[in-house]
Amino acid sequence: EKGGYDHFMLKEIYEQPHAIKDTYRGRLLAKDGIIRMAGVENHKEKFLNANRIIIVACGTSWHAGLVAEYIFEDIARIPVEVEYASEFRYRNPVITNKDVVIAISQSGETADTLAAIKLAKQHGAFVFGVCNVVGSSIARETDAGAYTHAGPEIGVASTKAFTTQITVLTLIALKLAKEKGAISNSDFHYHLEQLELIPDKVSKALESDTHIKAVAETYKDATNCLYLGRGYNFPVALEGALKLKEISYIHAEGYPAAEMKHGPIALIDEQMPVFVIATKMGHYEKVVSNIQEIKSRKGKIIAIVTEGDTDVKKLADHTIEVPETLESLSPLLTTIPLQLLSYHIAVMLNKNVDQPRNLAKSVTVE
Ligand code: M6R
């Protein structure tokens, strides 16, 4: 049932090219320049007239929501708030019938997310679900939705659910951007073409596995790690840290790279591995200067870079390459090596990768 892999997590990491393709199949019609999503199409007015979108989720799904915030605001120009479902539901939040709430959940059974949806509905908001499990409680409770077609995710550490959630949310953002006229036709077409290329690029990123395993060997005995990223890749840093924590039990924190100088930089010494997402785009120069700051404090730098990068290579202790893509699509690639790193470290430390201690696949109690 593990299809020849040692663990479900590894199988699911390797399934991502297919899972992403299955998620956009029938929706992304690049040649015709169309995105077909009935759940969005049928409620277009709700989305287009919304004052804002509120995304509610927990854990990895919350990280996918953060990536979506960048895409929705950047491309569709719709204001977005991303909320931990557990905080939102108890905060007496301001919700009106002009709000659209998007609930993201792999299992569709997360208690806090379900409660947040019920609260939003009571206040008249339109609630849209992004779930993986068909017919789950959240899928049934929402007014409309779009499934991720990741297939069953068995490993407690979420992998393919994350990348397929980002795929669905990207499709929604692009569709709304087009409807609103917030994106030019040529830009829209270009995004569709680039999204269609992502599965092959994920396969390419997976080819670094042997190299990533060697990097994992070097850092497996660390007791603390930092993960840094900016912009679209800030949520990827959070997700990288969560993956390491939950399966290897190594303490890790994700930070926006520029926040480092507001505190975490004090932690940096020769014992501290710092994983930096430094792909060649938007904030590249700024990330390079963050790397210099770490280096001058003797931190160990492991950088995720764009294929062919030379600048970061000169500074970092290790680099791991991913193919080039649009900045907005880069989380779909940069997250891959971080998943593999956590996986290999956990295996090397003899941890129970698929069922880490104290964790459950669906958190049905608050
Ligand atoms: O099923 P959900 O997406 O609602 O689950 C949310 C979190 O419990 C989940 O993402 C959790 O953080 C994972 N173990 C992360 O790998």
CA 259 to ligand 1 centroid distance, Å: 26
Mutate to test the pocket of ligand 1, among 114, 163, 363 (most ligand atoms within 8 A of CB): 363
Q: Is the pLDDT of residue 11 over 80?
A: yes
Q: Hey, whose CA ends up nearest to atom 8 of ligand 1?
A: 59
d(C-alpha 76, C-alpha 250), whole Å: 38
Ligand 1 center from residue 58 Cα (angstroms): 6
Query: Residue 109: its pLDDT value, please?
Result: 97
Per residue in 28-59, is it b (16+ CB within 10 Å) or e — as a string? Answer: bebeeeebebebbeeeeebbeebeebbbbbbb
Ligand 1 binding pocket, CB closer than 6 Å = 58-61, 105-107, 110, 113, 156-158, 242, 246, 359, 362-363
> pLDDT digit string (tens) for 267-322?
999 999 999 999 998 788 888 999 999 999 999 999 999 999 999 999 999 999 99
Residues 6+ apart with CB under 8 A from 119: 88, 89, 93, 95
- Expressed in angstroms and rounded, the spacing between residue 362 Cα and the centre of ligand 1 is 7
Mutation test of ligand 1: which of 61, 67, 88, 335 has the most ligand atoms closer than 8 Å to its C-beta?
A: 61
Question: What would the pLDDT profile of 233-246 be if each residue is shown by its tens digit?
Answer: 999 999 999 999 99
The whole-number pLDDT of residue 62 equals: 98
Told to judge if 204 belongs to the known catalytic residues of this protein, a careful annotator would answer no
The Å distance, Cα 235 to ligand 1 centre, comes to 15
Ligand 1 atom with the smallest distance to the CA of 63 is 10
365 pLDDT band (50/70/90 cuts)? confident
* The model's pTM: 0.97
Whether pLDDT at 362 is above 90: no
Long-range contacts of 62-66 (CB under 8 A, 24+ apart): 62/104, 63/162, 63/235, 63/236, 63/238, 63/239, 63/242, 64/104, 64/162, 64/165, 64/166, 64/169, 64/235, 65/102, 65/104, 65/169, 66/234, 66/235, 66/238
Whether complex ipTM tops 0.85: yes
| CB 57 within 8 Å of CB 113 | yes
Condensed to tens digits (0 to 9), the pLDDT of residues 48-87 reads 999 999 999 999 999 999 999 999 999 999 999 999 999 9
Average pLDDT for the chain:
96
Contacts of 304 (CB under 8 A, 6+ apart): 275, 276, 277, 278, 279, 319, 320, 322, 334, 337, 338
Nearest CA to ligand 1 atom 4: 105
